[in-house]
Chains A and B, each alone.
Chain A
């Protein structure tokens, strides 16, 4: 990113290759819409290009990138006011399920878990996605959200509890 900031914009391709998957993962899990997630990934990289001068060496690149991603997502929801998490289908979560009954049951659990996640507030879901799917530590999440690590730990515990409750409420047949 330093090279990009200094003017070597062709290096953006390297950044794209390295980071578009985790970004897509984050934005897909936050929007539930594959097409929207792809568009938002593009927006994130275009904003990185445009605001490259705001990148500072002292912070982690991923922190800066996820801050942009959060803003892009917030703008997306503002622009499509009233839009909420719209799940496309369960295929991405349960598509690996082959025939045997126990695997089918597993696929159903995955779908239930997805439904439970959908019911969480955005900030709770975001926290779970960053910790569990992006593998971020509480300190890293704190840097993205602008809060200290201790706050993240407390909020995460609360979010996980809510997810457990929501999971229990989703009927097993779903």
Chain B
């Protein structure tokens, strides 16, 4: 056996998983080679030090509660999808997306015809501005319509669509805040917290999220809301996080997140 053969076998040597014949070979080599003996001793020492470090203890109960909430939300979403699949109607009757796509296609055709029709000029046309405005309103209407759907997956689409609106009106923001407060599905509420982040600079949005937090039953959503408060970092964040960290009515995990948030931002 050569000295260079030792390194690749170190893991098994330290773990005690070497077959007897290879172990005997190594021992015979170590009896003769002081450098390899030192190498093995030093490695064994750090190996034992590593083994002596205690395992970190997780907050199992709290983690299980969080996971159960997430699982329940997933199961609810699945159940609603199945109901939706069972009720088959022509797509244009129940899919606002189809209606929206139809409206958009007609609009594009209209713009094209108007621009290239004989006698038309490339000058800015006030009709186009009007059509654009109508398209924006249509999109907004579709978003609001999706948020009202019975199916959780459709409402999720509505929340996602809100993020694609150029200049969402107050109605959309209000609908999102309402969804956050009242939607029965955890996943929809979680997505809503994300969607509201782009409006985090508005005081009224931050205040509504803070007010809605104690009403939430799901610690998962509450934690997402604490993150929202942290990220939007309004002037009221410190007081709010302090209050949440001390609120004994809140789930322990939520309080811990708020407390950590206070340290995180160095408030």
Q: CB within 8 Å of B: which residues of A?
A: 9, 12-13, 16-17, 20-21, 24-25, 28-29, 34-35, 37-38, 41-42, 45-46, 49, 92-93, 95-96, 106, 109-110, 113-114, 128, 131-133, 137-138, 150, 152-154, 156-158, 160-161, 163-164, 167
| Residue on A nearest B49 in the bound complex, by CB | A113
With contact pairs A35-B257, A160-B46 given, residues A153 and B58 touching in the complex (Cβ less than 8 Å): no
Contact of B58 with A154 in the complex, beta carbons under 8 Å: no
Contact of A153 among B10, B71, B74 (CB under 8 A): B10
* Complex-state Cα separation, A114 to B56, whole angstroms: 13
Contact of A28 with B260 in the complex, beta carbons under 8 Å: no
Contact of B54 with A138 in the complex, beta carbons under 8 Å: no
* Complex-state Cα separation, A158 to B57, whole angstroms: 29
Contact of A21 with B60 in the complex, beta carbons under 8 Å: yes
Contact of A96 with B49 in the complex, beta carbons under 8 Å: no
Contact of A164 with B46 in the complex, beta carbons under 8 Å: yes
* Complex-state Cα separation, A156 to B54, whole angstroms: 21
Chain B, 33-47, CB within 8 A of any chain A CB: 42-43, 46-47
Contact of A132 with B58 in the complex, beta carbons under 8 Å: no
With contact pairs A109-B49, A138-B12, A160-B47 given, residues A38 and B63 touching in the complex (Cβ less than 8 Å): yes
Measured CB to CB, the closest approach of chain A to B226, in angstroms, equals: 11
Contact of B11 with A152 in the complex, beta carbons under 8 Å: yes
* Complex-state Cα separation, A9 to B74, whole angstroms: 9
With contact pairs A150-B8, A154-B7 given, residues A132 and B51 touching in the complex (Cβ less than 8 Å): yes
Classify the secondary structure of B's interface with A: helix
Contact of B64 with A16 in the complex, beta carbons under 8 Å: yes
Given contacts A9-B78, A37-B58, A160-B46, 19 further A-B contacts (CB under 8 A): A9-B71, A13-B67, A24-B56, A25-B55, A25-B58, A29-B56, A37-B56, A42-B66, A42-B70, A113-B53, A128-B50, A132-B50, A137-B15, A150-B8, A153-B10, A160-B10, A163-B46, A164-B42, A164-B43
Q: CB within 8 Å of A: which residues of B?
A: 7-12, 15, 17, 42-43, 46-47, 49-60, 62-64, 66-68, 70-71, 74-75, 78, 256-257, 260
Specify which chain B residues have a CB less than 8 angstroms from the CB of A29 in the assembled complex: 56
Specify which chain A residues have a CB less than 8 angstroms from the CB of B63 in the assembled complex: 20, 24, 38, 41-42
* Complex-state Cα separation, A12 to B67, whole angstroms: 9
- The listed residue with most B CB atoms (<10 A of its CB), out of A109, A133, A157, is A157
Contact of B58 with A21 in the complex, beta carbons under 8 Å: yes
Contact of A24 with B58 in the complex, beta carbons under 8 Å: yes
Specify which chain B residues have a CB less than 8 angstroms from the CB of A150 in the assembled complex: 8
Specify which chain B residues have a CB less than 8 angstroms from the CB of A128 in the assembled complex: 50
Q: Which 10 A-B pairs have the closest CB atoms?
A: A24-B58, A157-B7, A28-B56, A153-B8, A92-B56, A156-B11, A132-B50, A157-B10, A153-B11, A164-B46
Measured CB to CB, the closest approach of chain B to A92, in angstroms, equals: 5
With contact pairs A131-B15, A160-B10 given, residues A49 and B74 touching in the complex (Cβ less than 8 Å): yes
With contact pairs A138-B11, A160-B10 given, residues A38 and B59 touching in the complex (Cβ less than 8 Å): yes
